[in-house]
Copies of this chain bind each other. A is one copy, B any other.
Amino acid sequence: MKRIPFLLVVVVTLACVILFSAPMSGHADEEAVPIFGIKIPAGYRDWKLISVAHEEGNLNDLRALLGNDVAIKAYRDEKLPFPDGAIIARLAWNYVPSEENNKVFGRSQSFVAGTATNIQFMVKDSTKYAATGGWGFAQFEDGKPADEALLKTCFPCHEPVKARDFVFTQYAP
């Protein structure tokens, strides 16, 4: 029986480890948004839940806010401002009535998450983003970064909640 060279085993094992430890969500190799230079953070879909919301109007979505460990700790400790390294992700899906659920409830009352609309991120870096309250802003649709014009609208919208370090969403118990 031919013996498999030890070096080959090591190389294949390493390749497997690298391959299978790639994040399931997040696209670290993709394009960064203009102005703020933010890419989609790897593994963001695994982050812990901050809260949920529903927007009517043109948005017409159901949304979830997730935070990386730095952001979640700050929320739970109720400490403002958020420390550098905090990232808040806003996921959103089309607001879709569920006929299946309505049948069970016996009335039209149930709305669920449909297809994803876009993802937004707020990244705290008090030095890099000093001009925008210490936050960098990003939005991606199907992995494609939003353009400069859109990103320039983010900070002015968040200014009314300066007292909460420019963050709208509060932690849901």
Q: Chain A interface mostly helix, strand, loop or mixed?
A: mixed
Assuming A49-B49, A100-B160, A157-B104, is B54 touching A91 (CB within 8 A)?
no
Among A63, A91, A168, A172, the most chain B Cβ lie within 10 Å of the Cβ of A172
Copies of this protein in the assembly total 2
Task: Give chain A interface residues in 138-173, CB to chain B under 8 Å.
Answer: 157, 160-161, 168-170, 172-173
Residue A13 CB within 8 A of the other chain: no
Residue of B nearest to A164 (CB): B100
| Contact, CB under 8 Å: B111 / A172 | no
- Contact string against B for A residues 69-106, beta-carbon threshold 8 Å, 1 for contact and 0 otherwise: 00000001000000000000001010100101101110
A-B contact pairs, 7 of them (CB 8 A): A24-B76, A53-B111, A55-B111, A56-B110, A56-B111, A64-B172, A100-B168
